[in-house]
Amino acid sequence: MAQASGRSAPTLEGRLVVVTGASRGIGAATALAVARHGADVILVARRRSELEAVAGQVESLGRSAFIVVLDLRDCQAAISAAERIVADVGTPDVVIANAGHSIARGALECAERFDSYSRTMGVNFLGAVAFLGPILTGMAARGSGHIIGVTTAAARTPLPGWVAYSASKAAFDTWLRAARPELAERGIHVTICEPPLTDTAMIRPVHGHSPRAIPPERVADWIVSALERPRAHLGPWWMRPASVLVAAAPYATASLMWRFTRRPQLRPRTPTESSSGA
């Protein structure tokens, strides 16, 4: 079995880890990172062909990989998929709720595109908690487990021009914070991972290969470190001072961020144009 650089032995030997959004980006990097540390992995995403490619890499490391094709926007399908996992392979030791959907639209753009909210909420919040439901029940009955929710730095420092994305990730971030004390009493750790701009396919339509973006492998390393030594938060060093600044001067901070991040908005739609679709 392959071992992580600088470590004498795998640290997650025999643990069963679920990764959502595992077909690419942070999810794929995390799946490979936990496999290198000895875990077997359940890979969850929409695209089977991409999942199969990641599964092949996991298996090349000597670990087992199971594929679950799932669109988290379908909450009932998310619940059913989690129930099948528990029934077929048992309650996982870890769930890394990483799947995310990003739409770069401001409030006025979303005013005529309500699907911006329904799509981002479906993946980033509602589908995530629907999928976690049956697994949390199993973890609570067993008295152990670990949930790592991948949100975003924008959850605590709202990003103008990305209203649907920021709101949906903030909803999941807040749910994790509210659930943490209750779940801790049942032996379930909760970690919130708030990555900054990360170099994945999701950001490239807007940011391209931004020099400000960190590689997804860095986020995967943070997540592995939290599985080795559970902690409440993961993220860049500047998240805490940024959160204090936002709390102290929310309007001024948002206005300043808008000045530096604003993009040309999409042209207004005509009355004859449909408001549905991507």
pLDDT tens by residue, 50-86? 999 999 999 999 999 999 999 999 999 999 999 999 9
Residue range(s) defining the domain that contains residue 126: 16-261
Q: Which of 125, 162, 165, 172 is catalytic?
A: 165
Whether 268 is covered by a domain: the verdict is: no
Query: How many domains are contained in the chain?
Result: 1
Strand-pair partners of 214:
198
User: Residue 165 catalytic?
Assistant: yes
Whether 76 is covered by a domain: the verdict is: yes
Cα–Cα separations (whole angstroms), residue 192 to 3, 106, 175, 189, 278: 26, 26, 10, 10, 29
pLDDT at 47 over 80: yes
Q: Tell which wins on pLDDT, 245 or 205.
A: 245
Whether 273 is covered by a domain: the verdict is: no
CB 14 within 8 A of CB 37: no
CA angle 217–219–224, rounded 5-degree value: 90
> Quick one: what percent of the chain has pLDDT higher than 70?
81
Whether 94 is covered by a domain: the verdict is: yes
pTM exceeding 0.85: no
What distance separates the 2 farthest-apart alpha carbons in the chain? 64
Whether 83 is covered by a domain: the verdict is: yes
Whether 245 is covered by a domain: the verdict is: yes
pLDDT of residue 271: 36
Q: What is the CATH number of the domain that holds 242?
A: 3.40.50.720
Whether 271 is covered by a domain: the verdict is: no
pLDDT of residue 263: 58
The strand order across the sheet containing 40-45 reads 65-69, 40-45, 16-20, 94-97, 145-150, 188-193, 233-234
pLDDT of residue 207: 52
pLDDT of residue 202: 61
Whether 8 is covered by a domain: the verdict is: no
Work out whether the CA dihedral 55, 59, 63, 65 comes out positive or negative.
positive
pLDDT category, 237, cuts 50, 70, 90? confident
